[in-house]
Amino acid sequence: MSCEDEAAEMLRRAGHKITPQRVLILRALRHAGGHISASQIAEQVRAAYPVVDVSTVYRTLDVLKRMRLVTATDMGQGDVVFEWAPATPHHHLICSSCGHVAELEHHYFDRLADQLAADFSFAADLHHFAIFGLCRGCQIEADA
């Protein structure tokens, strides 16, 4: 079973229709190899299915986000970007000055989740974050 077939089956089991547009959106996400914007997904889908509207892409992305198959993150570039949800959550450190992006492993959030649960009885959704600040190079440059 292909990755698109597997994702389509998950949608079907959750009660969602499997349309040609949704299959193409799934394919674009699964093969993006990282973050991709809704407009980039729409462009790829339109190459095979010219009449698809960007609102169809957004509605499908919303369904996929609620199913935790896709993450959405504001990476500071103006558009929210989407990524097929990896098996292990990851996060990003983004330099507000030079734009450098470093990946941050999820274990940094374990204590935060535990503390929020203990202090507030709150189950935090800590699946995908972008944290903005200054990288080491930009800090050194700012201090000079």
Euclidean distance between CA atoms 93 and 106, whole angstroms: 12
**Which pLDDT score is estimated for 4?**
65
**Which pLDDT score is estimated for 118?**
96
pTM for this structure?
A: 0.76
Task: Give the chain's residues under pLDDT 50.
Answer: none
**Which pLDDT score is estimated for 1?**
60
Cα diameter, the chain? 58
**Which pLDDT score is estimated for 3?**
64
- Per-residue tokens: 100: 């450098």
Euclidean distance between CA atoms 115 and 90, whole angstroms: 19
Structural domains in the chain, sorted by start? 3-84 (1.10.10.10), 90-143 (3.30.1490.190)
**Which pLDDT score is estimated for 116?**
94
Angle formed at CA 80 by CA 132 and CA 137, multiple of 5 degrees: 25
- Per-residue tokens: 139: 């800090």
For residue 8, give every residue at least 6 positions away whose Cβ sits within 8 Å of its Cβ, in sequence order, or none: 18, 22, 23, 26
**Which pLDDT score is estimated for 79?**
82
**Which pLDDT score is estimated for 12?**
84
**Which pLDDT score is estimated for 143?**
86
**Which pLDDT score is estimated for 21?**
87
- Residue 140 to residues 103, 136, 137, 144: CA-CA distances in angstroms? 21, 6, 5, 6
**Which pLDDT score is estimated for 135?**
93
Q: Any idea of the CA torsion for 27, 28, 33, 35, to the nearest 10 degrees?
A: -140
**Which pLDDT score is estimated for 33?**
84
Residue of 69, 73, 74 whose CA lies nearest to 84: 69
